[in-house]
Structure formats: structure tokens, C-alpha cells
Amino acid sequence: MHGPTRRAVLATGAVLAAGSAGAQAPTFRDLLPSLRLGANLERWFPVAAAQRPRRLGRAWWQDLRAAGFDHARLFIPRDAGAGEDVPRLFLQAIEDADAAGLPVLLGLSDLYEPWNRWDDAAWRVMQARARLFGGATDPARVALGPLNEPAFDNAAAWTPLRDRLLAAARAAAPSHALVWGGHEWCSWRSLLRQPPPADPLTIAEVHDYEGGAATWVAERFGAVAAWRDRHAVPVIVAELGGALPHAEDEAAWARDLSVALPVLRRLGLPATLWAVTHGGHWRIQEGEAPRPRPRLAEALRASR
């Protein structure tokens, strides 16, 4: 039996090379189904305290992971300025989180409100940040969002702006998954009214502070999961609190989480708690350490 000809060998090699070149490298989208519970670090917390820059350090991030969290979410505050000083502090935090085994969702800016439209300089700042993090972080471990939240009256007003934001971020960060949410502060209701973007490498996010009985939790997040399945766009509940009146009531908040988290896990929706914070509302942790407060820790253990 004759062996393959040189031409056949070369042709086969060319096909394999083309297939390898065209293969999509892993991104945060591929990681998302394995995630269950993460923590938001509110605005300045990851990089500053008492209005002074600080580094939490890798041991802090290791403790966050040991507390039962498998990812983190950060976003750059609106008063971070136009330069790279603050973004580079966030980059350092991401590097420490990744070294501790925690992938990160990063919001490149805070808000977009139709009554406070961005000028050209603000667009350049967001895109410069996308370029910085797109070049300095691993797309398999970091997802980038142009915004923390939008605040629009309806999907028709928000969608063109969303698509412009995604296009600007994509031009600067071609390999990263991009995160976006619905027009109404990323609420679950506004996601259901939202068409998916043309960009195939995105993740949709929901922010939820409604709490409620198991039937209501299952109803609203069941609708979110159905949207996800219909459009083949992964979804993460990127901010999860309890009902708004429970923002400073640890026991009631813990009860809300003990109801919501099992439902989200059954539906395959990862959740990111709000928040590790300097403030008093929705404060997960005690002091500066990432350990959850006692009733919250008990609720998290019970829902694993």
C-alpha cells in the first residue's frame, strides 16, 4: 500500500493550520457555566481606603476564595479621572485576584444616563481603558463591560447606545467577552425587552434587589433563563442583594439569599453578591477582611 503523497501531506497540514488559526481561544464566556457564587467589590474598595491608594494583596483575595466565592466583580468609579493611575490600581487588583484563582468581571466605567450624556473625552477614556485591560489581561479569566449600569426609559432608547459602547470596547479589546445589561439599571425586566447584540462574544447581566418568596424568585429568574436559552447568550446575575428594605437588616437579607441562591443554581445562573464595601448598605463582610457576616455565612453554607 502506497504512503501519502507529498502534496497530500502538505494539503492536510494546511487544513490543520487553518483550523487552528480559526479556532476561538477560550474566553470568560466558556468559564461562566462553571461559576456559582461571586462577590462585588464596591467602587473604590479594591484599590483605596480613607481616600488613599492601597493594595489588598494576594492573601486577601485567597481569603475571599476560601470564604466560598469563585469570582469577583469590580468597576472603575466615575470620579477615577481620565488618566491611567486608577485603572492601573485595578489592574494590580485583577492580577492579585487571578493569582488567588478568582476570575474577574470588570466594568470600565460606572453609569450612562441620557440626561448626562458622555462627551467625546468620556468615550475616549472608556476605550483607552478597554485597550489597557484588553492588552494586559487574559480573556479566559477577565470579562470587560463598558458600563456598570445604564439608566434609560426603554430598550429602544438604550439599544443603539449599547451597541455603540460594545463596538467601541470591541475595537480596543478584540478577544475579551463583553458584558452588558438591560436599559433599566440592568434589571431582569429590562433584559427581557432587550434584543441581543450582533457581537457574538458577549455576556448579559442582571442586577437584582427584589428578594421575595421562592415562587416569585423562580418566576422572574425562570424568565431570565428562558431569554438566555432562546438567544444563546450567557447570563450572570452580576449584582444580587435582597429586597431593598433589607439593605441593613442582616437576618432578613440572609433569608432572601437562602431563598434565591438555590433557585439560581437550579437554573444555572451564576450570582455575584453585592457587596464587599466600605458602606453600610448590603455589607457582606466584617471589617476589612472578606469573611461574610455570621448570618450571611450561614445562608451561603446552607445553599451550597
Instruction: Render pLDDT for 248-266 as a digit per residue (tens, 0 to 9).
Output: 999 999 999 999 999 999 9
Of 112, 103, 91, 95, give the one whose Cα is nearest residue 39: 103
pLDDT for the residue numbered 280: 84
- pLDDT at residue 48 tops 60: yes
Q: Are the CB atoms for 64 and 272 separated by under 8 Å?
A: no
Per-residue pLDDT reduced to its tens digit, 222-245:
999 999 999 999 999 999 999 999
Examine the pLDDT at 191 and tell me if it is beyond 70.
Answer: yes
User: What CATH code is assigned to 26-302?
Assistant: 3.20.20.80
Taking only the tens place, the pLDDT of each residue in 262-287 is 999 999 999 999 999 998 899 999 88
- The SS3 call for residue 74 is strand
**How much is the pLDDT for 60?**
98
Cell of 288: 476589612
203 φ, ψ (degrees, to nearest 5)? -130, 135
- Domain extent listing, the chain: 26-302
CB 204 within 8 A of CB 190: no
**68-111 confidence digits (pLDDT tens):** 999 999 999 999 999 999 999 999 999 999 999 999 999 999 99
Asked whether the predicted pLDDT for residue 13 surpasses 90, the reply is no
pLDDT surpassing 80 at residue 20: no
Q: What is the pTM of this model?
A: 0.92
Look at the chain and count its residues.
304
Provide the pairing of β-strand 52-53 with 48-49. Answer: antiparallel
Residue 28 in grid coordinates: 470568560
The amino acid that residue 181 corresponds to is G
